[in-house]
Structure 1
Amino acid sequence: MPSSTEAHTLRARLRGALCAVSLACALVLSACASDKDEVLPPDEPAEKIYNEGLTLLRQQRPDQAATRFEDVDRTHPYSEWARKGLLMATYSYFEAGKYDEAIMAGRRYVALYPGSQDAAYAQYLVASSLYENIPDITRDQRKTRQALEALEDVVRKYPNSEYAATAKRKIEVARDQLAGKEMLIGRYYMEQRNYTGAINRFKVVVTQYQTTRQVEEALMRLTECYMALGVVSEAQTAAAVLGYNFPDSPWYKDAYKLVSSGGMTPQENKASWISQAFKKMGLG
């Protein structure tokens, strides 16, 4: 058991240690508070942040502008400025060529503000961003289909908007791209003498993408394939439908020459799927 002197000394040391710990804690807390003040900026008015984004846009710095517009939504959520900021962030990302970010921001806008008068524009920016991501015809066309669906949403949901007409033009380009992919595969099958496989691809063009520029060649290739298989009636029908709907097409001249080489002429069999497909579209 320690003496009274030793006990006094121990108590003094303990008080000293506690004071040191208290001082250290105070310094740590002070440092944390200082760091926090440096990391977290003071509250800024939403309008000020938004206008800074506009300034960056005017300075041709859309990437930085998008970040500033996102700051509006982050610091002033659920406000009218947040709504405006999210739309402008979508536009800025699109202008910066950051299409994935534009798609995410635009979809978020449409989900949060479906009744807004700017929802049509947000949806159009989403569709246009997907459109800009359409890959080369030799690659998988999943993104082209996504773009087509988004563009069709613009026309279906906002038919009277100023963006519907432009969306329709882009729809035709996307559809032509998908038809072109079918033609590419069909021609490959023809080279392999897989005429049945080729016919199935050209049939997709004739039945699903009839308004595209690819349909003329598709009818000519059907004439070729059916002639190669000896299915003369279908070859004649393909040539006849091609000639009726596109009489000045160079593809019709080739089809006519091919059928004539077998001692026949283009002649439509109205029971043929080719004839029926065009009747459904009001052609032929």
Structure 2
Amino acid sequence: MPVTYPNRGALAAVLLTALSLGLGGCDALDSINPFAEKYKPEVIPDVPADKLYSEGLAKMEDSDFEGAVKKFGDLDKQYAYSDWSRKALLMTAYANYEGQKYDDAINASKRYLQRHPASKDAAYAQYLMAMSQYKQIPDVTRDQDRSEKALVALQELVQKYPTSEYSSDAKAKIQITRDQLAGKEMEVGRFYLERRNFPAAINRFRDVISKYQTTRHTEEALERLVEAYMALGITQEAQNAAAVLGHNFPDSPWYKDAYALLQNGGLQPREEKTSWLSKTFSSITGRTASAQ
């Protein structure tokens, strides 16, 4: 069957009519062109990088942290893969941190470290990430997932950047975070102890001593072990815990309580130097408990 082409005369008439209508002709052509544009793209001219950066800093000065994040975000997008982009990403993390948008600050800091792990500001990005976790540490009665993450981030800062200006502050906050985690273990341990679930309580108090031995909770954890072991009739372990407590914290009121508890049972503190308790203290302090 022969191919039938459109009538050339009819098509020419349509085109001539459209052209004679001027702008109206465009509408006529659009009506027969299914691929005609239905919108006009908006062209956004590039703003100089230094101007965007200065505008972001100005927003920071005005405590408009959300506005600052937007400016630095624009800078990062318009000047991707440049040093301006690197600076913008770090300032995005900082602006989010100052604006208490801690999760956003963490994400921006992680992106910075992924893109620029060897830069001169990498330690600061790690510090911002760690502090954003640290600022979200909840009270001891709640889940301590944030505390765990803060501890990891702070320890990474000290390990990777030991000579940075942020290392000293990170070390102090590591101790505070460890104390928080130990406090949570103590709270759970006391809960089990009050309900006479002595094995579960012992596990918690042992964790405090083995993982967080340098915190302020160690003395109580040792005394609580004496209580739990005595309740179970495991007197040798009770005597050992009391002896380690006395050797390391002789003036502690917790030692006085532990000593009195043993005396009521006709016992005295007695250290077993091969026990896990003695080994834990000697390995951390660098000396045996009996040498103190």
TM-score by length of 2: 0.86
Is 1:199 matched up with 2:206? no
Give 1:252's match in structure 2, choosing from 240, 251, 255.
Answer: 255
Shift of residue 81 of structure 1?
A: 1.0
Match of residue 262, structure 1, among 241, 260, 265: 265
- Provide, for residues 159-203 of structure 1, a one-character-per-residue CA deviation record: whole Å limited to 9, x for no partner: 000101111111111111111111111111112211111111111
Answering whether residue 67 of structure 2 is matched by residue 64 of structure 1, we say: yes
Aligned length: 274
What's the CA shift for 1:13?
Answer: 7.2
**Which residue of structure 1 aligns with residue 168 of structure 2?**
165
SS in 1 for 2:45: coil
Answer yes or no: is 1:86 the counterpart of 2:86: no
**Which AA in structure 1 matches 2:79?**
H
Cα distance in 2 between the residues matched to 1:231 and 1:181:
26
* Aligned-pair identity (%): 50
Range that drifts further, 129-138 or 74-83: 129-138
CA–CA distance in 2 between the matches of 1:167 and 1:12? 80
What is the alpha-carbon distance in structure 1 between the residues aligned to residue 172 and residue 63 of structure 2?
A: 28
Cα 1:50–1:12 shift into 2, 3 Å: closer
Alpha-carbon distance in 2 for matches of 1:17, 1:121: 69
SS across alignment from 1:281: helix
Q: Which runs of 5+ in 2 are unaligned?
A: 1-6
Post-superposition offset of 1:240: 1.4
Give CA deviations for 1:38-92 in whole Å, capped at 9, x if unaligned: xx43110111000001111111222211221111111110111111111111111
Aligned mates of 1:11, 1:123 — CA distance in 2: 69
Instruction: Encode CA deviations 1:188-238: one digit per residue, 9 max, x unaligned.
Output: 111221111111111111111101111111001001001111111211111
For residues 137-179 of structure 1, the C-alpha deviation after alignment (integer angstroms, 9 at most, x for no partner) is 2222222111111110000000000101111111111111111
Residue identity opposite 2:163 in structure 1: N
1:108 aligns with 2:111: yes
More helix by share: 1
Please tell me the residue identity of whatever aligns with 1:102.
Answer: A
| Pair 16,242 (structure 1): closer, same or farther in 2 beyond 3 Å | same
| Residue type at the aligned position of 1:95 | E
* Structure 1 length-normalised TM: 0.89
- 1:10 CA drift (Å): 6.7
Offset of 1:15 from its aligned partner? 4.7
SS in 1 for 2:223: helix
AA in 2 matched with 1:112: R
Q: Distance in 2 between matches of 1:11 and 1:160?
A: 80
Structure 1 residue corresponding to 2:191, chosen from 185, 188, 192: 188
Query: Residue type of the partner of 2:202?
Result: I
Code of the residue aligned with 1:114 in structure 2: it is P
Residue in structure 1 matching 2:277, options 274, 278, 284 = 274
Name the CA distance, whole Å, in 1 between partners of 2:241 and 2:12.
107
CA distance in 1: counterparts of 2:95 and 2:177, whole angstroms: 24
Match of 1:32 in 2: 39
Which residue of structure 2 aligns with residue 145 of structure 1? Answer: 148
- Measured in 1, the distance between the counterparts of 2:16 and 2:183 equals 85
Whole-angstrom CA distance in 2 between matches of 1:98 and 1:258: 50
Supply the RMSD in Å over aligned alpha carbons.
Answer: 2.5
Task: Give the match for residue 3 of structure 1.
Answer: none
Runs of 4+ displaced beyond 6 Å: 9-13, 26-31
Work out the CA distance in 1 between the residues paired with 2:139 and 2:245: 28
Worse overlay, 115-124 or 262-271: 262-271
Secondary structure class of the residue paired with 2:39: helix
